[in-house]
Every structure is written in structure tokens, then in C-alpha cells.
Amino acid sequence: MLKRRVWLLSALTISVVTVAAVANGASSFLPNLFSFPDPNGVLKTYSSTGTIDLTGPFFQSLGTNGRSCASCHQPSDAWSVSAAHVAARFEQTNGLDPIFRTNDGSNCDHNIDTTTVAGRRQAYSLLTGRGLIRVALDLPARAEFEVVGVRNPYACNDTSTLSMYRRPLPSTNLRFLSTVMWDGRESSTQTGTQPITFATDPGDLLSDLAHQALDATNGHAQATTPLTPQQQQQIVAFEMGLSTAQAVDSSAGSLNSLGASGGPMTLVNQPFYIGINDPLGQNPYNTAFTPVVFTLFTPAWVNASATDAIAASRASILRGQKLFNSKPIDIKSVGGLNDATGLSVIPGTCGTCHDAFNVGNHSVSAPLNIGIADVVNPLDVSYLPVITLRQKADPTKEVSTTDPGRAMVTGKWADIGKFKGPILRGLAARAPYFHNGAAASLKEVLEFYDVRFDMKLTDQEKADLVAFLTAL
């Protein structure tokens, strides 16, 4: 028993430790729909298997460095990790919690001193400051480009294995995925995994997730013996049963009261199939695309509110939903869209790219380059490496990027800087945002879009969109 509690302390954050305490110290279960406080209210997860068993393989140390999946996928943080909670974990453990490991938790795996607290503070600064994990990938065989040089602020300058810095994606709401990982590398023929298609989903998704669990254990947890097929199945079944969303907003109250359908329970029955709402005509039933992607909050929800303050917050969330569904965006120079369609300007909305109903990821696999990895960027990316690539076919073409993204899977020049549009639920619990954590807040996300697409958003529109995203 003592052993298990020590393990609980080291493997999970403060919040889960609190849960254990609440449940009289002896519980190894998280009650279903447990309330996790986050900066804007309460986050909840529904598990189709009933309670969340904190002793299952997802929570076990299955490798050699003490990490479990939960080291980086925390129930309190919408099954990702918020940078704030990682920083708190550092302070609580003096940087000794298993998330702080040099294989991929530190800024680089060499040129560091982890023998002192001060040394560790420096070595893990990207993890505590931005919640970033170092993803090291080999240059794909037969890539259309070569690496001219790498300027990595932390000395990881290798040009055959590139170090990139990425946020853990939530290991929840996985039923809606159209591709696994930011760059889709666990759903790609190049890696021996399966693209997720209408015809083969969910078999392809389940096998990709099983492969992903194996890779994660070998990589992040430095396993010397691979997961058994049974452990893989248990992890996948567990993850697939999770539905997570913001349930209570600190200003607007319960997000599923009076006819609104926020919170995790409505996600459980949310219809989805690959291509359910695709702007480029990939719906398998030829159903037309609609930009009205989110329908969680209805006018009735606002009118019926009890107090003025609550009514005002609800009205703001509702306006934000409407802006998401209708505010025009001139989509320009987006790799994967403008080049794919041959249109220099695509009149769109947020939902052109975040099109899956009430979930917000792209309903077909669509790696897009909106410029988050660009060296010259409305966001501060000065903490990231500069990787310079040269096209083999035309050596006059050179590009510098902080992360080649999908191109490190396909080897294609055209795929440089492309990433998937992620699921937009449980956002409040898992700042910062984008694959590289460059937006510290949802406000910064909106400021990025405002500049990048010259949207001319008013302060009120930004505030409404932030209120809406926070309530997801």
C-alpha cells in the first residue's frame, strides 16, 4: 500500500494526489466526472469504463525511467500537461519527478547539468516554461531536402536527427481523431502505420493508437522490453473510453444548464465519421460543408439566465460561438489549402480548418501550414531552434523553420511546417497552445490569427472568442 502511494505521488500531479486524499488515502480510483479545477472553472472527464482506474497500465511505470503515460497526460490537464502544473511539479519535487528526464524532457540531452536544482531548472526550462517535450526524429530516407544547418539554443545541433519541441496532445476524445500526432506520424504508411479513412475507421485508429502506445513506452519511458499486445489493448481501450470537456465556467456557471450542451456528456454521443464536414468535398455521402461547426450554446441558454453577471458571461460565450462559426477569414498562403486548391484567397472561417462538429479538429487528415513554425512569426519563437533546409531538386530554394512538421514523416518539401488542426476541447486546462506552445494564452492564439489573417478583430470580438474557447 505504502509503495503504491509513493508511486501515486511521483506519477501524478497535485490534483490527483488530492483526489487520493479525498477518497480517504486508500483509493486508487478517480470517480467518474470528477471535478478538476482549472484557471477558468471546472474540467470533467467521463470514462465509459466507469471510474478511472489509477492502477491501470496507463498509470504504471512500464519502462525504465519511472514515467507512465500519465507523467505527460494528466487527467486534471485535459490529459495533456499545462506548463503551470509542470512548473509546480518541478518545485514540489526539486525537478526529480519522472517527467524530468534527460532523454526528452530536457531542452537537450547533452551539455546539461542535472546534479543540482539550479542545473535542473535550466535544463528543463522549456518543459516548465512551455510544457514542451523534445521530439527527436531522423531525417526521412529519400527526403526531397537536405539539412543545411541547425542553430539550436541548447546545443542539440545534429543535422541527421532533428530535435523539435512539441506539446503533448490530449489522450482523450480520441474517437474523433483523423490522424495521430501533430505530424500524423502514427497514421502514415511511411512509418508502417495506417492513415485513418472513412472506410477503415475505427480499425485503423485502434491499430495506430496501439502502435503509438508501444512507441511512447519505448521512447518516453525508455522501455527495454516492449509492451505486450494485451497491455497495448488495455491502454487503447482506456484512452478510447475518455470524453473530456470544460463543464463549469467560473463566470457563466454550468455549461450544460438550460439547454446548453457543453461539458463531456454530450461528447459521448456526438456523431462523427471521417469527412463528416469537409470544406473540400470529402464527405463520403457528399453532404455539403457547413461553417456552423459548434452548436453547444443556444440563445435560450442566455435568455433564461438567473443573474446579470451570469447572463453577460453567457452572452459573450454565445457571441464567441457565433464568431467562430461565421466571422470571415481570408485564408492566404496556407500550405495544404491554398496550394491544394490553386486559390490564392479562400474565403473561410475558423471552421474551414476546425470542421468536426462540436470537437473542432479537421474531420479528414489535413496537414496545414498556418505559420506557427515560421522563424518570422507574430508569436515569439525565439526559444526554438532554427533549422535550415535546402531543396535537392532546386538548390536555390532554402527555407528556415523551427520545426519541419509533416515533412519529417513524408520527406516532401511541400510538407514543411504542416501540422494537424487539433481537437479544441478542454483548452482552459492545458495552456500553452499550438504545437510549440508559442501562445501562452487563448488571447495570444486570437492575436496570432488576427495578425496572420489580417482579421481586424475588435477587442470585444477577441474577448468573446476567448470566452467561447475557454468554455469548450
Q: Does 385 bind ligand HEC (CB under 6 A)?
A: no
Q: How far is the CB of 408 from ligand HEC (least distance, A)?
A: 9
- Judged by CB, which is closer to ligand HEC: 311, or 447? 447
Work out the burial of residue 168: count CB atoms within 10 Å of its CB; fewer than 13 is exposed, 13-18 middle, 19 or more buried.
buried
Which amino acid is present at 327?
K
Q: How far is the CB of 37 from ligand HEC (least distance, A)?
A: 20
Please give the biggest Cα pair distance in the chain: 66
Question: CB under 8 Å to 444, separation ≥6 — which residues?
Answer: 379, 432, 433, 438
Cβ pair 420, 377 in contact under 8 A: no
Q: How far is the CB of 24 from ligand HEC (least distance, A)?
A: 28
CA 75 to CA 71: how far, in whole Å?
Answer: 10
User: Could you give the angle at the alpha carbon of 306 between the alpha carbons of 301 and 312, nearest 5°?
Assistant: 65
Q: Does 124 bind ligand HEC (CB under 6 A)?
A: no
Binding ligand HEC (rule: CB under 6 A), the pick from 52, 434, 444, 462 is 434
Q: Which of 43, 47, 42 lies closest to 29 in space, CA to CA?
A: 47
Q: How far is the CB of 232 from ligand HEC (least distance, A)?
A: 9
Cβ pair 355, 279 in contact under 8 A: yes
- Segment 208-237, which members bind ligand HEC (CB under 6 A)? 209, 212-213, 216-217, 220-221, 235
- Judged by CB, which is closer to ligand HEC: 220, or 314? 220
Stretch that binds ligand HEC, among 13-21, 84-92, 176-184, 261-269 (CB under 6 A): 176-184
Interface characters, 287-326, with ligand HEC (x: CB under 6 A):
-------------------------------------x--
- Judged by CB, which is closer to ligand HEC: 389, or 427? 427
Interface characters, 135-174, with ligand HEC (x: CB under 6 A):
x------------------------------x-xx-x--x
Q: Does 445 bind ligand HEC (CB under 6 A)?
A: yes
Q: Does 469 bind ligand HEC (CB under 6 A)?
A: yes
Cβ pair 360, 425 in contact under 8 A: yes
Cβ pair 323, 296 in contact under 8 A: no
- Judged by CB, which is closer to ligand HEC: 245, or 372? 372
Binding ligand HEC (rule: CB under 6 A), the pick from 354, 406, 425, 462 is 354
Binding ligand HEC (rule: CB under 6 A), the pick from 126, 248, 387, 465 is 465
Q: Does 43 bind ligand HEC (CB under 6 A)?
A: no
Q: Does 89 bind ligand HEC (CB under 6 A)?
A: no
Q: How far is the CB of 270 from ligand HEC (least distance, A)?
A: 16
Which residues of this chain interact with ligand HEC, rule CB under 6 A? 67, 69, 71-73, 104-105, 133, 135, 166, 168-169, 171, 174, 177, 180-183, 209, 212-213, 216-217, 220-221, 235, 239, 324, 329, 331, 334, 337, 348, 350, 352-354, 368, 370, 372, 419, 421-422, 424, 427, 433-435, 445, 449, 465, 469
